[in-house]
Amino acid sequence: MEEKKENPILPRLKDGELTTLKSTTKIVSYEIKKDKDGDPGLLFLSEFTNQDEEETSPAFDWMLFKFSRKVDEEKVILEKQAVISDEIASDSQYNQTFGNMVSHVEPGETVEFIYFLKLENSNPVIITAQTSGDNYVVGEETLVID
């Protein structure tokens, strides 16, 4: 019997990991934290690996992710970044990742970075990954937020 192979079409989103021809961006973890104003936000800890022959930045791939929530059966895009609180800034799990999202990552290197998204309600967050330019959807996953 023939062994089933992974779909080689790139880019693709699977299990919180976006794989492109030049890099991999993986959502390692996420949790609800209070922002600087005490409002809820969704804090992502992610990992970026540069598989290209030139340096690049995690921010380029992160722009391929769109975050939304369903409100009355309509998708509402979540666009506002939350401001990090002093508590998050002093947390050793996160303070080493500041600035990495816009840093220059050399070929073969991996860095962790954080992204903090403002939450408006407690509905599940839908992550959509799409190509740049034509916005072709390459995957969609839902995060259930407690």
Determine, yes or no, domain membership for 101: yes
At residue 121, the pLDDT reads 78
What the block records as the tokens of 134 is: 């034509």
Identity of residue 29: S
Give the three-state DSSP class for 88.
helix
Determine, yes or no, domain membership for 4: no
For 125, other C-beta atoms within 10 Å of its C-beta total 20
Question: Residue 128: which domain range?
Answer: 12-143
pLDDT bucket at 8, cuts 50 / 70 / 90? low
Query: Which residue has 């839908």 as its token pair?
Result: 126
* pLDDT one-digit tens code per residue, 12-65: 899 999 999 899 999 999 999 999 999 999 999 999 999 999 999 999 888 888
Determine, yes or no, domain membership for 113: yes
CATH of the domain at 99: 2.60.40.1240
pLDDT bucket at 1, cuts 50 / 70 / 90? low
**Percentage above 70 pLDDT, the chain:** 93
Instruction: Note the pTM of the prediction, 2 decimals.
Output: 0.84
